[in-house]
Amino acid sequence: MASATGVPERVVGNGGVAHHHAETEPLLGRPGDVAQADGGSFIKNLYIGTAAITQISILLLVVLIWASVLTKPLILFSGHPLAQSLAILTLVQSILLLQPTHTAEQKRLGQRFHASLNLAAFLFLVAGVTIIEYNKLISNGAHFHSVHGYLGVISSFVLLAQYFVGFTIWATPRLYGSVDNAKSIYKYHRWSGYLILTLLLATVVTATDTPYNYNVLKIPLWAVLLLAILILVGVYPRIQNKSLVSRLQWLLECRAGKQKLSFASLSFRNLFTKDHGWKIYF
């Protein structure tokens, strides 16, 4: 149970050794470092922990794109990078807002905010895709002429599937047979969201290798790549340790009797120590 500060209580294990509760422990940091305080504001979720790195990086990326577009003659195509950059900015906020939640009430409210932000991001994405498709239609432009084009189409379909699953889990869980079934699927929705964010950022990076950027925007690859990496550097360490450990649990067995390893007091910082017998599997 979390304390009033949002930092989990210490649990005393066998031999009187105190262990931090791993439920709210991020991949980097101590338990509670990025846990929302009970009764705390959701706004703080947007910058606590390594989120500050992500916020600075995504804002710089948006400013870079918008400045490059708005300082050039505006055409119909100009709306595409503007809308897509706003979509990614909004998606990042939806992730950062939900990550620190850990109580039932926080998760319930967080999912509402998350869904609202994703709806806004969806509208930006639709606007961006509509602009590019209409522009290709009136100019007889070719599809799939660049890596960016391929990744853009893949991202669009993957996002549609992600939106469908996320919305139905939240709004109509009975679609999956029961509420418990829907909850069991949610963990995959969460992890696929992190992978999709990486895919979207890769799509942005490859946009620098397109004729429009070469001839008009001239945004440097190194700047976009660096900011994309920093965005992920701020997001991934805030993933709760418990989420990662639960995915790894089925991979490991103890040497004695090949029984599954207990992760009750396991923290990310001691995953690879000899105390847990991992060395026999690598």
Nearest of 39, 44, 33 to residue 7 by alpha carbon: 33
Residue 217: which H helix or E strand, with range?
none
What pLDDT does 275 receive? 44
Ordered structural domains, the chain, with CATH: 41-252 (1.20.120.1770)
Neighbours of 173 (CB within 10 A): 17
What pLDDT does 24 receive? 52
What pLDDT does 255 receive? 47
HEC string for 76-127: HHHHHHHHHHHHHHHHHHHHHHHCCCCCHHHHHHHHHHHHHHHHHHHHHHHH
User: Residue 25 contacts by C-beta under 8 Å, 6 or more apart in sequence?
Assistant: 8, 31, 32, 33, 240, 241, 242, 267, 268
Q: Which residues of the chain have pLDDT under 50?
A: 1-22, 27-29, 31-32, 245-251, 253-282
Q: Is residue 206 within 8 Å of 145, Cβ to Cβ?
A: no
Could you give the angle at which helices 51-70 and 79-98 cross, rounded to 10 degrees?
170
pLDDT tens digits for 35-89? 777 777 788 889 988 999 999 999 999 999 999 999 999 999 999 999 999 999 9
- Predicted model pTM: 0.76
Token pair, residue 103, equals 């109580």
